[in-house]
Amino acid sequence: MLKKLRIAELPIPTFYGDEICHVNGLKYAWDVFKATMKARLCGMHLFYDRKFDTEAGPLAHSDKLGFPSSQTFAVESCLPSKNVLQLGIGHANVAAALEKKLCHVTAIDFGANEAAKKPTALPFAS
């Protein structure tokens, strides 16, 4: 519907064992109408429902150095010239601050979509 395609409804008999199940057509039509309206409202940014969220954009990371924050505390607690494993890179601002302290930073970061596309990239993937 969001792509301006026509919807064709076909009757599909539902069986539970030997018994045929009949669906309440008006309730079904009302549920379809509600879902359609929710999808339209989500498209206009007037309503939000995760199942209608089709835009998977990158998450925004902000620089949290220079004031009391978890990133600042992490950088300050690392001793110079140490090896650091950073999980989740963001804009790599923490890694850059650690490298200024002569730390060797190994960073790992990937989104859920990347992991789903390349399950063999994980050494323990089967």
Please report, for the chain, the start and end positions of each structural domain, with discontinuous segments joined by +.
14-52, 70-121
Residue 85 has which token pair?
Answer: 């494993």
Distance (Å, whole) CA 110 – CA 113: 8
What pLDDT, in 10s, does the model give residues 11-65?
Answer: 777 777 777 777 777 888 899 999 999 998 988 888 888 887 776 665 566 778 8
Residue 21 has which token pair?
Answer: 């199940």
What pLDDT, in 10s, does the model give residues 70-106?
Answer: 889 989 999 999 999 988 776 678 888 999 999 999 8
Model pTM score? 0.42
